Structure 1
Amino acid sequence: MMRKTLIEFISRIRDFLLKKFKAYDDKLPYIIIAIIALIIVVSSINLFIELTDTLKTDMLASMDDKITEYVISFRTPALTDFFVFMTKVGDFYGYLIVLTIYFLISRLVFKRWKYVLQSTLVLILASASNMMLKRFINRARPGIEHMVSVETLSYPSGHAMSAMAFYGFLIYLCTRFRINKFLKTGLIAMLAFIILSIGISRIYLGVHFPSDIAGGYIAGLIWVFFCILIFNLIEIFRSDPKT
């Protein structure tokens, strides 16, 4: 009797959900993406807090030293030139050039500015919040030789955070574009390579601890999925005939 009642209850819940979602077929993709984004945002915030809490531990200091020593052991003139270039790609003028190219492509190919505005907003939010986090956490730079000049504090890495936020959001947009799958795969791989290279460049050039890069990546990822959540909620409300 109990088993039969439970089966009937589950069936009613299933029929109710199917009936509800059937009326929102066009919104379902946005709803699913928003839910996934919310889960990732909450998980990433928790991970960032846990990492920040371990900054002054001996274990993390030891890991930072070992990883840094390993990365700088590969220093060569050619590799130094490459990582100096990549770190410039993650600077203000680097993003200005990339945004200009991105704007022209969006204007000429996609005939719309929405994606440029969204990507720029993600970058601005990540950059502004990074300055606040640096002042609040107040971690000094590594004591080793700096191969490029730096003026701000260390944690989280602004280059890593901005790269993950901006190029990470572009990866998300690429997954939504209706383009050749080989071109799409190539673009995503290139953007992932840029994110990784900018982060490694900061360790290689001696201006960041590896944990700074990890913290920057996590914080940047939070902004990526937070903005995905907001933008998809906007699409849900915009497509609602009652609003």
Structure 2
Amino acid sequence: MLNKQKLQLLCASIAFSIFLGLALGVFLQSEWIDTVNHFGQQLIQKRSPIADTFFTNITQLGSVTFTSFVTLLLSAFLISQRQYRLFLFLIVNIAISAGLMTQLVKYTIKNPRPSAQLIPEYGYSFPSGHTMVSILLYGTIIIFVRLYITNTWLKNSMQFLFLSLIVIIPVSRIYINVHYPSDILAGLALGYSLLMLSHYIFNIGEQT
């Protein structure tokens, strides 16, 4: 267990270092950030009517409205099961890490969003709030699945589903052009580091 906790902290440290590098690059308007953004946009923004429909719908699974609804359902379940430590783990991840921390960084960096958006979005761009919410909410759910689901097939299927959302929702933000790839990478790195940190602090065990 001790080695696993050390690995979690190491992974969190590496992810946070990646976030800091991206934040510094964006803040200083470095050329390598422009290169990363251009490459990512060229790779993902292959427009078609089917892709437009898919990504404009899938991006809603990371919206404040939908994720708040999911968080309320999970909170009610955890409280009904008297799992107060897991409830606090969820709230810290969503309210503090995905909510407060995201806004703090956004208003520190103050990076504008890209233009010509498929869905109008406002506010600052870095890091992606949808990406932060995705990895922190659906990552938390994956941890809960490992705790509560004993059927191997169901457990693996649910983990694959939520891991897919952690990937597809951030990609959708680039596709609909409301975020730069650097915003997404930063959201993934910061979100992952905060998830691993809270996992360590709350000492959430996992069934194997």
TM-score by length of 2: 0.86
Distance 1:34 1:112 in 2: 25
Pairing of 1:189-200 with structure 2 (within 5 A):
189-200=160-171
The structure 1 residue matched to 2:150, chosen from 142, 154, 179, is 179
Q: Match for residue 102 of structure 1?
A: 74
What's the CA shift string for 1:222-242, capped at 9, x where partnerless? 110110111019x9xxxxxxx
The structure 1 residue matched to 2:109, chosen from 122, 127, 137, is 137
Q: Match for residue 71 of structure 1?
A: 44
Tell me, yes or no, if structure 1 residue 38 matches structure 2 residue 3: no
Q: Percent identity?
A: 22
Q: Match for residue 58 of structure 2?
A: 86
> Secondary structure of the residue that 1:52 maps to in structure 2?
helix
Tell me, yes or no, if structure 1 residue 217 matches structure 2 residue 188: yes
> Secondary structure of the residue that 2:203 maps to in structure 1?
helix
Report the Cα offset of residue 104 of structure 1.
5.7
Amino acid in the other structure paired with 1:154: S
What's the CA shift string for 1:38-61, capped at 9, x where partnerless? 222222221211222223222321
Q: What root-mean-square deviation, in Å, do the aligned CA atoms of Structure 1 and Structure 2 show?
A: 2.2
Unmatched tracts of structure 1, length 5 or more: 1-28, 236-243
Distance 1:63 1:45 in 2: 18
Q: Match for residue 33 of structure 2?
A: 60
Q: Computing the radius of gyration over CA atoms, which structure comes out larger, 1 or 2?
A: 1
The structure 2 residue matched to 1:231, chosen from 198, 202, 205, is 202
Q: Match for residue 6 of structure 1?
A: none
The structure 1 residue matched to 2:120, chosen from 140, 143, 149, is 149
Q: Match for residue 95 of structure 2?
A: 124
Range with bigger deviation, 82-91 or 148-157: 82-91
TM-score by length of 1: 0.75
Question: Contact 1:103–1:113 at 8 Å: present in 2 too?
Answer: no
Deviating beyond 4 angstroms after TM superposition, the runs of 4 or more aligned structure 1 residues are 103-108
Amino acid in the other structure paired with 1:189: F
> Secondary structure of the residue that 1:139 maps to in structure 2?
coil
Distance 1:87 1:170 in 2: 18
Tell me, yes or no, if structure 1 residue 158 matches structure 2 residue 129: yes
> Secondary structure of the residue that 1:93 maps to in structure 2?
helix
